[in-house]
Structure 1
Amino acid sequence: MLTISEILILENKLCEAMKNNNTDVLDNLLHADLLFVVPGGQTITKEMDLQTYREGRLKLDKIMSKIEDVHIIDDLAVITLQTELKGDYNKEPFEATYKYIRFWKKFPKGIKVVGGSGIAI
C-alpha cells in the first residue's frame, strides 16, 4: 500500500530532478512505459521526456508546486497539483502556471510515474 507521505516525497524529488536537469533521477522515477500528455497536446514517452532534458531543450529556473489532491487506490496514487514554471524551452523564455495530474504506481523495484497530463491555466 502506498502512503501520501511517500508520494509527496517523490513529487519533491521529481521537481528537483526537473529543475536540476538530473536525468539519472528522472530515469529512475519514470516508468519505461510512461505516457504523458504535455501542455501542447502531444503524447510523449519516457524516452522523449528524457531526451528533452539530455539535449537541454527545457531549462527550468523556477518550479513551485501546490498540491491539490492525492488519492491512494491500492498500489496507485493519483495526484493533482498546480505548478508555477519559469525557464526556457528551445531557447524561448516562458513563465506560466500549469495544472498537472500524475499517476504513481508501486512496483517491486519502487514507485514510478506511469502517466499524467499537464495544461496551462
Structure 2
Amino acid sequence: MEREILKLEAQLIAAILNSNLQVLDTLLHDELIFVNHLGMVLSKKEDLAPHINGDLKITELVASDQQLHLFGDTAVVVVTKEIRGIYLDQPFENRVKFTRVWKLFNKDWKVITASSVLC
C-alpha cells in the first residue's frame, strides 16, 4: 500500500507541474476539502480553477521530508515542498508543508482533504 500511495503522490506532483486536469480530477475526490496556506477553505472546483483558467503555472516543485502513515483504508502524507511558479503574472517562491489524506474508495485512492502552511 505504501508503494501505491507514493506512486500516486508522484503522479499528483507531475499533474500539478503540468496542470494536467484529467489526472488531478482523477486523484482528487469530488468532495475535496483543501485549506490553503492563506487559511481559505477550497472545494475541488476552487482548487482546480487556477489550473483551468491559466492563472497558476508551477515551474518547480521539489519534495522533501516526506512521511507516510497508514490507517487501514486511509493514508496520511506529510511533505515539505519548495515551490516556484507564477500566479496572476507574479512570480513566487515558497516553502510549504502539505498534509494530504488519501482514502480508498472501491479500488481507487482519492485525496479527500489537504492543508498547507508556509514554513
Q: TM over 0.5, yes or no?
A: yes
| 2:94 corresponds to which of 80, 93, 96 | 96
| TM-score, normalization by structure 1 | 0.95
| 2:80 corresponds to which of 79, 82, 89 | 82
The CA deviation at 1:116 is 1.0
Superposed, 1:101-120 pairs within 5 Å as 101-120=99-118
Distance in 2 (alpha carbons) for counterparts of 1:109 and 1:74: 13
The CA deviation at 1:67 is 4.1
Q: Could you list the runs of 4 or more consecutive aligned residues of structure 1 that deviate by over 3 angstroms after TM superposition?
A: none
Distance in 1 (alpha carbons) for counterparts of 2:3 and 2:14: 17
The CA deviation at 1:64 is 0.7
Q: Structure 1 67/110 Cα, relative in aligned 2: closer, same or farther at 3 Å?
A: farther
Computed over aligned residues only, the root mean square deviation of the Cα atoms, in angstroms, reads 0.9
Distance in 2 (alpha carbons) for counterparts of 1:23 and 1:97: 24
Matched residue pairs, number? 119
Secondary structure of 2:54 counterpart: coil
Provide, for residues 55-81 of structure 1, a one-character-per-residue CA deviation record: whole Å limited to 9, x for no partner: 111100001111431110010000100
Gaps of 5+ in 2: none
The aligned residue for residue 43 of structure 1 is 41
What fraction of aligned residue pairs are identical, expressed as a percent? Answer: 37
Secondary structure of 1:60 counterpart: strand
1:14–1:26 Cα contact (<8 Å) kept: yes
| TM-score, normalization by structure 2 | 0.96
Secondary structure of 1:15 counterpart: helix
Code of the residue aligned with 1:41 in structure 2: it is G
